[in-house]
Amino acid sequence: MSSEDKEAQEDELLALASIYDEDEFRRAESVQGGETRISVDLPQNFSISVRGNQTDGLQNSNFECMVCFLPPVVLNFEFPEDYPSTSPPVFTLSSKWLSRAQLTALCKRLDNIWEENRGSVVLFAWMQFLKEETLAYLNIGSPYEAKICEQREERSRTNEEEASCGAAGAAAAAATQEEGLDARAVQDVDSLSSLIREILDFDLAQKEKCFNSKMYTCNICFSEKLGSECMYFLDCRHVHCRACLKDYFELQIKEGQVHCLKCPEPKCSSVATPGQVKELVEEQLFARYDRLLLQSSLDLMTDVVYCPRSWCQSPVMQEPSSTMGICPRCNYAFCTLCNKTYHGLSPCKVTADKLLDLREEYLEADELSKQFLEKRYGKRVIEKALEEMESQDWLEKNSKLCPSCATPIEKLDGCNKMTCTACRQYFCWICMRSLSRTNPYTHFQDPGSPCFNRYVYATERKCYLPIGLCLLGLAS
């Protein structure tokens, strides 16, 4: 190895190490060479599709998604002793989403770039070409259909099959037909299902990496923070710092509002994922969040009820045609309508408090709901509730309660000194005060009383008559 070649090789490796980070360039330890991982530049709204079959485990389904990043094209290289003066680098080119035919076309193009720059270092030019011109050179557009092609199948593939596999256009077709597939071209993936997983995982990881390296303003505390200290909601992409979201989430969970873990931006309905909540809150709070979220989800299921025993409360699947529920945990058989012990076809028993609620519910219900309530509680129970409501309404309008025993008393006529039919207590109909048993009339003779001289109300005169006239029989 000449000193000029050795110095040029060393300078090129040092230059690449200074330009690219460790994820993009790694120098080999034992030989003059290394590995570069080139992320191909993608246009906006670029989508990739994979067509599956049963051998791939995708069961004839089609998969398509929009991505910002694709797994890198990997260039492994080693310098011969006479590089760059005479020989090019020895290399292999591998990819997960490019076929061997496409990689063969790229290998040929790298050879051509070397011929155009013979005698000069060429790795940086190779890497720039792979990064910036791969899609254009291979005539790849969106949506791009990725396929896995076996080597023996590609050797016998026709031009039409190559085009359907996303082959590289005229340059790739010529390379494949005339020279076969390049041994340096490697499609590094086992199956279509693993390809999908690789694509999605890499795209997500790169998006996270870009997010973590940028600065964002939290709209809660208005502080500038790195993306690594922030979190964004997946649907709306609104960004807030982790510290503020942690306090916000913990407060909502403590109050039991697990469905309120939404983006704090006004009028935004994006909801945090369980994974995001788990990242921020303490383990005990997340367990509470998980439990409440499950319970609220079960509550929305019309065929799920809960065991009425306070110490159990396990969810129970209800048969559509039956009102009986059997708890799988404690084996309690209960009526799913009234939560009491199962009573077969007999109507549900109604307590006095429930009767009040029942009549209100029945009066406000539509015809279908009324039929359901009659079937559940029995038509006679419903009628009784309505009758009691009518009686209660009449009593409230036409009677007053005895101040001693609370018996309803109706006043048809006569003076305002009343006698309770139940406990025989005297009381004033006007102010409802209990009166003296020995002389109840002093209440109406006391000038300090609000009922002074209001013993009898004369209907025809439309006025109260003095009690003295009433007692003397002169109030004619």
Residue 112: helix, strand or coil by DSSP?
A: helix
Closest C-alpha to 418, from 406, 397, 435, 404: 435
Burial class (CB in 10 A: 0-12, 13-18, 19+), 49: middle
Instruction: State which H helix or E strand residue 301 sits in.
Output: none
Residue 420 to residue 434: CA distance in whole angstroms: 10
DSSP H helices, 365-473, are: 367-377, 379-398, 442-445, 467-472
Set 415, 420, 451, 470: catalytic member: 415
Contact 253, 289 (CB under 8 A): yes
Number of neighbours of residue 39 by Cβ within 10 angstroms: 16
Nearest to 84 by CA among 59, 53, 115: 115
Residue 154: which H helix or E strand, with range?
helix 151-155
Q: Output the six-digit token pair for 422.
A: 């139940």
Between CA 288 and CA 342 the distance in angstroms is 32
DSSP 8-state class, residue 81: T
- Structure-block tokens of residue 6: 């050795």
Whether 415 sits among the annotated catalytic residues: the reply is yes
Cα 329 from Cα 327, distance rounded (Å): 5
Give the residue among 46, 38, 41, 88 at the shortest CA–CA distance from 66.
Answer: 46
User: With 0-12 CB in 10 A as exposed, 13-18 as middle and 19+ as buried, what is 403?
Assistant: middle
Residue 148 to residue 114: CA distance in whole angstroms: 29
Q: Annotated active-site positions, please?
A: 415
